[in-house]
Structure 1
């Protein structure tokens, strides 16, 4: 059963937490890869059951604030704010303005939270609405004594990898442990080359914002609109056996002379692509011919060239290659064919040269703002899959126990849908999948793949 219950959240206290040590005021330039991100906020939240009576809410909140202040000494970028420089580009002012920190109470118990529908239970309730600065934090006490820690990050400053690094460090500081990874803000890692050069494939992945049609000139409404086109969020779990089965099907390439091993993420992405396409075909009331799928690629390992410092690089090191295929082909061809289509478009973006070229591409077009083409939408549906397999949910222990649940929460506002698979907090190989899609896409997934995508419930999390 999926819990459904209306509840209210009362914010009892708001304050600003600054770094525990003084920080010299300075500007930190955004890298060319940071400049590809429009003003976006992404959230993350962790749910904790009540444990020992010693861990009162007052104690928990004080411990979080103290550890946050100490962590900001290392992660000083999170205590700053994004401003515009004279050229009109975003840059980070490191002025230790601090992090918004709120204490709240929610009139609900943890096992009653409808985590399947985060639009109702999480959005602007348990994950704070960031109004200023780079980071906002909210710690919420539940009726049962459980706690939810929610954070909102400015995506122009941090990608998911950077946020994960900070969250782990914050929890390590709270337990008086040495940091397992120090952040690095050395922008020279992502300096453009002189002279710069890039492959024309990047023109197919990225576009200048000025080249996009104004909203009024957008394509006329297509079929499947009205209420169905509203964007909703859902959280599912996928059992490990299903993930293995999907990967096995994706790798069953009969008669293929050249076999490439398909990863779990590639297989999952292909399955999602094919499932939605098959659902569209079954409706018979669509007007578009093609369906785009993008996959977020982290460039740190591609650019590192053996440099360990890049592992701790704090900022955005992302690219979003995508494929565009006919809906009929996605529906009719076997999963292995679709998986190979995913692998093929990913091949263009998993190299050092691609990321160096992307940096040079941005440099060649500055100060014109640009973004990933798939984010801008266009004719036909589009979905972006991000890899959250490094989401450190089981590591975010501030001293009162591991979280029983954690997830990203990303109302990113783009025309393309967004899907983030993450490891289950159970550590058993299951996946948690956050989806932010148009309502009709969610309905198709639930109609055609309910055996794979199962609604997140308190029973799954063993909450009593």
Structure 2
């Protein structure tokens, strides 16, 4: 299905496509120079609530305070931020005509029991007799990182890296930035912690240790300063920095929740970067839907284990009996 255009300064576009079976699909798209995935999800949730009830509760009213996360004068950022960010230049991107040869798009279904097994495998006991319990995201991240290291090992590369899209609204602690910490804040508050490790070390380490690396990378960052540095870097370079993350979306417009809902990005492949997005199953049964744009060899490895193709049955969709 064509995605409505979000470039050329268009703030928001909405496309409705109806199907012969009676169902339909709605696609919202925005320009991430303006907002991140959390802000767009807030719009969809507010829209759904307004249609259902005719009112907009305080918890869904957008926070539009533009005094938050403004660049400092003069802009100031660390060498690590300058190294992590670069100007988006089409000449450095993968050729659009060869992108399909480098990446494959997949929609997977991961059962709740497999997620629980993976979480147990990524957890371990501590020296003091306690239990270092990995979260579901940490466990899946560790699994993917080790799988990626196994693929990279055959290419001669010595290191491989992973990054995580983190909603900074949940991490901000500075009182002056509390408006930006609100879930209703409309803007760009996504951080991207990155970690690079030795391929051989990742292969040697047991899954719980890799999960600990994931946790350390996500939690050790000072998100207040990191987000401010990114704002300053953008001001200094006068270029947009964009990111998407997986955010909860309420798509109930009065006739039930959508059978399938997801965020998507259209440029990751040309950036030569694989992406994986985790989405809760619409039935809230503990299972996940995983949207992946990855290298074919990595997809082949994932599909040998807990990643199953997403089907109509796994979404609870059944053709009417005639």
- TM-score norm. by structure 2 comes to 0.83
Q: Which runs of 5 or more structure 2 residues have no equivalent in the other structure?
A: none
Q: CA deviation at 1:362?
A: 3.6
Q: CA deviation at 1:215?
A: 3.9
Alignment partners' CA distance in 2, 1:257 and 1:195: 50
Cα RMSD, aligned residues only: 3.1
C-alpha contact 2:103 2:296 (8 A) present in aligned 1: yes
Q: CA deviation at 1:151?
A: 2.0
C-alpha contact 2:123 2:208 (8 A) present in aligned 1: yes
Alignment partners' CA distance in 2, 1:333 and 1:147: 47
Q: CA deviation at 1:295?
A: 0.3
* 2:168 alignment counterpart: 299
* 2:287 alignment counterpart: 430
Assess, with a 3 A threshold, how the Cα gap between structure 1 residues 346 and 259 changes in structure 2: closer, same or farther.
farther
- Are positions 1:190 and 2:69 aligned together? yes
SS in 2 for 1:459: coil
Assess, with a 3 A threshold, how the Cα gap between structure 1 residues 131 and 179 changes in structure 2: closer, same or farther.
same
**Structure 2 residue corresponding to 1:421, chosen from 248, 273, 278:** 278
C-alpha contact 2:5 2:13 (8 A) present in aligned 1: yes
Q: CA deviation at 1:165?
A: 0.1
SS in 2 for 1:293: strand
**Structure 1 residue corresponding to 2:26, chosen from 126, 149, 152:** 149
- Are positions 1:287 and 2:141 aligned together? no
Alignment partners' CA distance in 1, 2:210 and 2:197: 9
Q: Which runs of 5 or more structure 1 residues have no equivalent in the other structure?
A: 1-121, 219-225, 376-385
Q: In the comparison of the two structures, how many residue pairs are matched?
A: 307
* 1:128 alignment counterpart: 4
- Are positions 1:206 and 2:85 aligned together? yes
* 2:203 alignment counterpart: 331
Structure with the bigger RCO (C-alpha within 8 Å, sep 6+) is 2
C-alpha contact 1:410 1:436 (8 A) present in aligned 2: no
Alignment partners' CA distance in 2, 1:137 and 1:204: 36
- Are positions 1:443 and 2:280 aligned together? no
- Are positions 1:314 and 2:186 aligned together? yes
Alignment partners' CA distance in 2, 1:230 and 1:360: 34
* 2:309 alignment counterpart: 455
SS in 1 for 2:124: coil
- Are positions 1:249 and 2:126 aligned together? no
Max Rg structure: 1
Assess, with a 3 A threshold, how the Cα gap between structure 1 residues 197 and 154 changes in structure 2: closer, same or farther.
closer
SS in 1 for 2:262: strand
Assess, with a 3 A threshold, how the Cα gap between structure 1 residues 279 and 366 changes in structure 2: closer, same or farther.
closer
Assess, with a 3 A threshold, how the Cα gap between structure 1 residues 350 and 397 changes in structure 2: closer, same or farther.
farther
Q: CA deviation at 1:141?
A: 1.5
Q: Name which of structure 1's ranges 267-276 and 190-199 shifts more when overlaid on structure 2.
A: 190-199
SS in 1 for 2:171: helix
1:317-346 CA-partner distances (Å, limit 9, x unpaired) = 112111111222222211112112222322
SS in 2 for 1:149: strand
- TM-score norm. by structure 1 comes to 0.59
SS in 1 for 2:118: helix
